[in-house]
Amino acid sequence: MYVADQTWPELGEYVAEESVALVPLGSTEQHGPHLPLATDHLIGESLAREAADRTDVLCTPTVNVGVSPHHRQFHGTMWVDPPQFRDYVESMTRNLAYHGVDRVVYVNAHGGNVQHLREVGRRLRDDGTMYAIEWMWDESIPDLVDEVFERNGPHAGPKETAMIMHVAGELVREDRLEDARDGGRVDLDDSPNYMTHGARTFFDALENSPNGAFGDQTGATPEKGERLFEAATEQLVNLVEWLDAREFEDLMAPAHVDPQPGSRR
């Protein structure tokens, strides 16, 4: 159920019975010469809406701009600073709590958002508002990704290329796949900037890839994208069902170990 398509009485019927919502998030940032800047938020929204349809839970509008300053040198990349991103997502999620939602899955498709979404989830659980967890699509199916692609690439690689071929194929510049591979970085570990004496000595994507792409994109196909999409959706559906079956009290932070602070005063 997509929240923006509903009327308020229809949503009243939902929150009277259900308490789970999916919040899709991504980014608007460069994805090499072959993929649109919308790549991450298209993937996040497609997965969230599909899982919501299959489970009859609520899906909110998508957060399209994320924490992406590490791509800022490339034209069109947009970003917000981490504190503002965290505060915005937290405020938006508290809106859901006001309407009766007490558990949320952040359906995330951008690596730069991960740590900040986990921090928001901790804030919300620590004050007893709700249980909100971050879910990253490719991290839910790592073995399949490794099986399908020999050289995945952490960004703008074959897995994201295949997913966009599946969900929005008209936006893929298929004539630029070889350019993406040859003008980017196939293996991140081969970059002279990746690790120096045990430290990651880079901050921005441009320091490791001249065109912002990683991996070998030439092996991506819509069929492989569909396979990834279906597997990730299944994982998300399973997560929603698991979350829905939990008692709210069991999702909250455990109590301090005994003796409780101040209990002997």
Q: Please write the tens of the pLDDT for every residue from 19-42.
A: 999 999 999 999 999 999 999 999
Given a cut of 70, whether residue 114 has pLDDT beyond it is yes
- Residue 192: pLDDT band by 50, 70, 90 thresholds? confident
Is the pLDDT confidence value at 189 over 80? no
| Residue 47: exposure state from Cβ atoms within 10 A (0-12, 13-18, ≥19) | buried
Identify the DSSP state of 175. G
What's the Cα-to-Cα distance from 131 to each of 18, 25, 116, rounded to whole Å? 14, 17, 15
Region 94-115: what's the mean pLDDT?
Answer: 97
| Structure letter (DSSP) for residue 215 | S
Kindly report, residue by residue over 33-69, the tens digit of the pLDDT: 999 999 999 999 999 999 999 999 999 999 999 999 9
CATH number, domain 3-249: 3.40.50.10310
- Give the C-alpha separation, 251 to 265, whole Å: 30
Global confidence as pTM: 0.95
Taking CA atoms, 185 is separated from 58, 101, 131, 195, in Å, by 39, 43, 38, 15
Domains of the chain: which residue ranges?
Answer: 3-249
